[in-house]
Structures are given as C-alpha cells and as structure tokens.
C-alpha cells in the first residue's frame, strides 16, 4: 500500500499542485493539507480519496501558485480601521492612558485585514480537482507497478513452499517403517520379545502411526497454496483474504512439523516457515 503520486493543473490565474503519499495501514487513515482558500473542498476530496485510494495511511498535500502574486494579497478595510483607531483614542483620552501603540492595536481588530484567499471562484476549484485527479492517477500507477513486483515475489515464495512440500513427500516414505522399527526395538529391549502381545502391539502401533500421519496436512497445505495463487491473480483487491489464507497455510505447516517426528522433514518445515514469514511481511503492502 505504499505509494506516491503528484499532479498539477493550471489556468491563467493559478496553478495547483497535489502530492499524495501513502504507507501501510489496515484502514484508510487520511490527512489533507490544503490552502485556506479551498478549505471548502476538503469534504469533496476526502470522499474522492475514500473511493479511489482504499486502504493506507495517506497524506495529501496541496499547494497553490498564483500568476499575479498580488491577487492573493491581503487588503485593509480603511474605514473600519479609522473607526477602531478613533474609538481607542477617545477611550485612552478619557482614561488618561498613553496612546502609544493604538494604531497597531486597531490594525489587529476583527475584520480590519481581509485575506483575498478566502474568495475562490468555481473555475479555480476545477483547477484544484483536475490536479487532484492527476495525482491520484499517478499514485495508482505507482501502486500498480509496485504490485506487479510484489505479485511476482509472492508467487515465487508460494512456489518454494510447494517445492518444499514435494521434498517432504520424497523423504517421508521411510518415516513410518523407521518409527515402527524403533518402537519394536524399544519394546524388545524393555520387556523382551517373548513377552510382547503381538496383536496388542500392532493395535497400538496403528493407533500411534495414525496420530503421526501427515496426509491431511499435505493435502490442505497444497490446497491453501493453490487458493492463495488464485486469489492473488483475481481482479479485485484481496489483501485481507490473502492474509487469512496465509494464516491457514501457517497452521498446516506448524501441524506438519509437530507430527513429522523426522529430522529431515522438520528441517524442510523450518524453510517453509521462513518463506511464509516473508509472505506475511509482503502482504502488508497488498490492498
């Protein structure tokens, strides 16, 4: 969800530049800084950001540049200034107070100085919105380019997990016979071969080996990986969905490792976990 975009638009009077930056966030956290002259456009811009940008910690910075710098200069209400000043002089004279600084005080009274930036015509508002839409287009393009790189990386890591799963299947063939042999040897040494109830021993072996069977975990893990790739290639945004699938993948990998009872398989599982952690980190960037 990181992204950057800039857009600008101008007419004969003013040029607006809009810069959009975003970082990772589970929700849309929006901050907008814009000139006072167009503060009435903030709600409109927030609504457009909600529709066009979706998730992310987004900062929108808007600046203006006027062709005629005097167009936005402040103006002084002369009549109001005189009125304030004369009233202050009269009050000071009546009270016998020093009249020094009364002019500055009158100048700071309400509505004496009017900022022309407060008056923006409809045409200038259109210039701002055009600059904003250009910035959003640039921002979206940045995200899409980053998304393609991210998609390739995620596909590569899921393929590695599937490859590791194939390695598990390659080395697990001898796992059950070795477990059976190890348990049989242990029983021979513990109670003696002649004292073992063969039927009971076989029942216990079957029950124990059933607990160690990882067939279901392998099937579910492969299914989750394929579903992850399917969701990754979908047209709509699936960041949260991919996060849920990765959690299920992790659950199967953990169970596979705990039931493996085999050093080689557990080493492969560790490598699976490494790839899955990298996937989870990358998913923070997916919408």
280 and 213 together in one domain: yes
Here the tokens at position 259 are 């039931």
242 and 165 together in one domain: yes
171 and 97 together in one domain: no
In a domain, 88, yes or no: yes
Quick one: CA torsion of 185, 187, 190, 195, rounded to 10 degrees? -120
In a domain, 108, yes or no: yes
pLDDT at 157: 95
**DSSP run (H or E) holding 96:** none
Residues 116, 118, 120, CA angle at the centre, nearest 5°? 95
280 and 168 together in one domain: yes
Compute the residue count for the chain. 287
pLDDT at 8: 92
In a domain, 50, yes or no: no
In a domain, 22, yes or no: no
pTM above 0.85, yes or no: no
pLDDT at 259: 81
In a domain, 268, yes or no: yes
pLDDT at 206: 62
Dump the DSSP string for 188-241: HHHH-GGG--HHHHHHHHHHHHHHH--HHHHHHHHHHHHHHHHHHTSSS--HHH
Q: Domain tally for the chain?
A: 2
In a domain, 162, yes or no: yes
The residues, ordered by sequence, that sit 6+ positions from 115 with a Cβ below 8 Å of its Cβ are 36, 72, 74
161 and 82 together in one domain: no
Please state the φ and ψ torsions of residue 168, each to the nearest 5 degrees: -60, -45
In which region does residue 56 sit, left (phi positive, over 0), alpha (psi from -120 to 50) or beta (all else)? left
154 and 281 together in one domain: yes
Please name which of 47, 2, 38 lies closest in space to residue 18, comparing C-alpha atoms: 38
pLDDT at 120: 59
pLDDT at 238: 77
The residues, ordered by sequence, that sit 6+ positions from 83 with a Cβ below 8 Å of its Cβ are none
202 and 98 together in one domain: no
CA distance 25 to 5: 18
CATH code of residue 175: 1.20.120
In a domain, 157, yes or no: yes
pLDDT at 19: 95
Q: How far is CA 284 from the centre of its chain?
A: 5
Cα–Cα distances in angstroms (integers) from residue 99 to residues 73, 79, 96, 109, 113, in the given order: 30, 20, 9, 16, 22
174 and 226 together in one domain: yes
99 and 157 together in one domain: no
CA distance 234 to 238: 8
pLDDT at 68: 63
155 and 265 together in one domain: yes
CA distance 200 to 138: 72
In a domain, 137, yes or no: no
What residues make up the domain containing 83? 75-114
214 and 162 together in one domain: yes
End-of-domain residue from the set 56, 91, 114: 114
pLDDT at 67: 74
98 and 161 together in one domain: no
CA distance 231 to 241: 8
Here the tokens at position 103 are 């002019």
pLDDT at 137: 93
Residue numbers in the chain where pLDDT is lower than 70: 1, 68-74, 114-121, 173-211, 237
- The answer to whether residues 212 and 258 touch, using CB atoms and an 8 Å cutoff, is no
């Amino acid at each position: 969800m990181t992204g950057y975009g800039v857009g600008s638009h101008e007419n004969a009077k003013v040029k607006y530049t809009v810069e959009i930056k975003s970082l990772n966030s589970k929700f849309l956290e929006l901050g907008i800084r814009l000139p006072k002259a167009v503060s009435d456009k903030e709600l409109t811009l927030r609504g457009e950001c909600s529709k066009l940008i979706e998730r992310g910690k987004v900062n929108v910075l808007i600046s203006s540049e006027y062709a005629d710098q005097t167009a936005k200069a402040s103006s002084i209400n002369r009549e109001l200034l005189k009125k304030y000043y004369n009233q202050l002089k009269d009050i000071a004279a009546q009270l016998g107070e020093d009249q020094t600084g009364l002019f500055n005080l009158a100048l700071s009274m309400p509505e004496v100085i009017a900022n022309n930036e407060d008056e923006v015509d409809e045409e200038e508002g259109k210039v701002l919105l055009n600059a904003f839409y250009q910035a959003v287009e640039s921002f979206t393009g940045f995200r899409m380019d980053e998304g393609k790189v991210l998609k390739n990386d995620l596909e590569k890591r899921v393929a590695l997990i599937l490859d590791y799963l194939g390695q598990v299947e390659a080395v697990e063939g001898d796992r059950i016979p070795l477990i059976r042999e190890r348990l049989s040897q242990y029983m021979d040494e513990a109670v003696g071969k002649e004292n073992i109830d063969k039927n009971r021993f076989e029942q216990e072996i079957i029950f124990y080996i059933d607990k160690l069977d990882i067939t279901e975990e392998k099937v579910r893990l492969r299914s989750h990986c394929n579903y992850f790739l399917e969701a990754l290639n979908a047209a709509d945004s699936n960041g949260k969905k991919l996060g849920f699938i990765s959690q299920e993948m992790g659950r199967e990998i953990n169970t596979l490792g705990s039931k493996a009872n085999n050093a080689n398989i557990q080493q492969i599982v560790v490598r699976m976990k490494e790839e899955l952690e990298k996937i989870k980190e990358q998913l923070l960037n997916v919408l």
